[in-house]
Structure 1
Amino acid sequence: MDVVFVHGSGRAGAASWPQQAEAAEPGWLFLTREGVADDAARDAGRLLEWLRARGGGHVVAHSYGANAAVLAAQTEPGLVRSLALLEPACFDLARGNPAVEEHIAAMAPAFEVAADPSVSAREFSRVFAKGMGMEPPDVPEEELFARVSRLRALRPPWGVGLRVEQSLPVGTLVVTGGWSPLYEQTAAALVARGARHVTLEGHGHRVQDDPQALDVLRDHWGR
């Protein structure tokens, strides 16, 4: 069975999917990061290239990576046998929801200064963390610079080209952790477009780390 796993904006490749990588079967691909940061349109093209070579497959995506997965599915739906979106940051499809609009407004200052060389890595980290409602990471300068370089090069997870007038493919699953109104409201918007919703509580944003996650995915593929 051909399955491609698409990481979010943090860890990439198999490192983003430790449980699934440990149980990996022939035909499973854990997409690695290309370049400094992720780009939904570029990564959708990479997904489609892989899917075309195999005559189609299942797509599983986490957080920011869900934008590339949906773009690929909207471009060539016949290649996507099923779509599983874990805590998807597909905010273009959920505009108007209060938590989504609050998040976009809170994060706008970080993206506005991303290209400003006068803003240091440490300062950008503080601005980004404030928008996320988190404390900035207390890590060594070298590690901080690597993290911030990736975040500064990242396109916001809105305005990425998702077509709001187009339905989701048949066989779309959304999995959330039940911890954040932002992702629960996004999930509800996707359910309104035909997705099925499963909640796995206890692991926050990284629902793929739940012991039940792989069983949920296998059940989804079997449908």
Structure 2
Amino acid sequence: MDVVFVHGAGREGAHAWPRQAAVAEPGWLFLPREGAADDAARDAGRLLGRLRGRGGGHVVAHSYGANAAVLAAQTEPALVRSLALLEPACFDLARGAPSVEEHITAMTPVFAVADDPAVSAHEFSRRFAAGTGTPPPDLPDEELEARVARLRVLRPPWGVGLRQGLPVRTLVVTGGWSRLYEETAAALVALGAQHLVLDGAGHRVQDDPRSSAALREHWAG
């Protein structure tokens, strides 16, 4: 079975999918990061290139990576057998939802200072965490610098060119912890997706043991 896994804005490749990588089957590909940070349009093109070489396949994507997955499916739906979107940050498809608008309002000024050298890595990390409603990460300076360098050049997860509509069978999996992602999931359900909530799984739902069974059931469907 051909499956391509697309990481979010944090860990990349197989490191972003430790539970799935531990039981990987022939035909499973964990997309690596290209360049300093992620870009939905560019990564959709990379994803389609991998799928063309395989004659198509299922796509599983987490958080920011869901934008690339949906863009790829909207561009060449014949190559995408199904989508599984885990805590998808597909905010273009959920504009108008209160928590989505609040998030964009909070994060727009953060991205606006991304290339300002007067804003230190620690300060940018603090602002980014405040905008997302999470505590700043407690990391060694070198690791924090690397993380912030990636976030500074990340394209925001809105205005990425998603069109309304899901052209392939789509499963959305959320952890039931965030209004932002639950409202985004509801918008995708309105477009035809199925929605599964793994209560208590948090943002990285792929680390929850229930996710593996959900994915296999989805692929078999």
Do both share a fold (TM > 0.5)?
yes
Measure, in 1, the Cα distance between the counterparts of 2:147 and 2:45.
Answer: 25
User: CA shift at 1:28, angstroms?
Assistant: 0.2
Aligned residues of 1:83 and 1:169 also touching (Cα < 8 A): no
- Matched with 1:98 is 98
Matched, 1:175 2:177: no
Alignment of 1:1-223 (within 5 A): 1-164=1-164, 167-223=165-221
CA deviation after TM superposition for structure 1 residue 107, in Å: 0.9
TM-score calculated relative to the size of structure 2: 0.98
Give the drift of 1:66.
0.0
Q: CA deviation at 1:138?
A: 2.4
Deviation at 1:123, TM superposition (A): 1.1
Q: Is the 8 A contact 1:109 1:127 kept in 2?
A: no
Kindly indicate whether the alpha-carbon contact (under 8 Å) linking 1:8 and 1:61 is maintained by their aligned counterparts in 2.
yes
Q: CA deviation at 1:170?
A: 3.0
SS at match of 1:151: helix
Shift of 1:193: 0.3
In the alignment, is the contact (CA less than 8 A) between 1:170 and 1:194 conserved in 2? Answer: no
**Cα displacement string for residues 76-126 of structure 1 (whole angstroms, at most 9, x for unaligned residues):** 001000000000000000000000000111111210100111211111111
- Unmatched 5+ stretches in structure 2: none
Question: Structure 1, unaligned stretches of length 5 or more?
Answer: none
Runs of 4+ in 1 over 4 A off after TM superposition: none
Secondary structure in structure 1 of the residue aligned to 2:117: coil
TM-superposition CA deviations, 1:43-88 (whole Å, max 9, x none) = 1001000111111100000000000000000000010000000000
Sequence identity (%): 77
| Aligned equivalents of 1:176, 1:134: Cα separation in 2 | 17
2:41 corresponds to which letter in structure 1?
Answer: A
Secondary structure of 1:5's aligned partner: strand
